[in-house]
């Protein structure tokens, strides 16, 4: 997130890739491999009971979550003829 004038604004995640290719009109190209990994580990427990030695484990739970996302970009350019400004309605 971004804080602007004391106001917290949610931000987007930015991932960047750069490449140079030559494509003909209508040919497609793909950029892949932009990976993002997220790990989350949480412990939930009953107050006081979860901290007790030996029996405390009965009042606790552990949760682990792992997420992986991949951004894939497909580009298909189409070349068009320039239009004369006088022909635009």
User: 16-63, pLDDT tens digit by residue?
Assistant: 788 899 998 999 999 988 888 989 999 999 998 888 988 988 999 999
R_g of the chain computed on alpha carbons = 26
Q: Is 75 left (phi over 0), alpha (psi -120 to 50) or beta?
A: beta
Residue 63 CA to residue 61 CA, distance in Å, equals 7
Global model pTM greater than 0.85: no
- Contact between 23 and 74 under an 8 Å Cβ cutoff? The reply is no
């Amino acid at each position: 997130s971004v804080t602007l004038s004391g106001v917290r604004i949610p931000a987007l995640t930015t991932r960047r890739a750069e490449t140079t290719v030559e494509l003909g009109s209508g040919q497609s190209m793909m950029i892949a491999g932009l990976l993002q990994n997220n790990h989350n580990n949480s412990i939930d427990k009953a107050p006081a009971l979860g901290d007790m030695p030996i029996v405390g484990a009965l009042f606790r739970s552990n949760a682990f979550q792992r997420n992986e996302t991949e951004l894939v970009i497909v580009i298909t350019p189409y070349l068009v003829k320039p239009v004369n400004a006088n022909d635009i309605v």
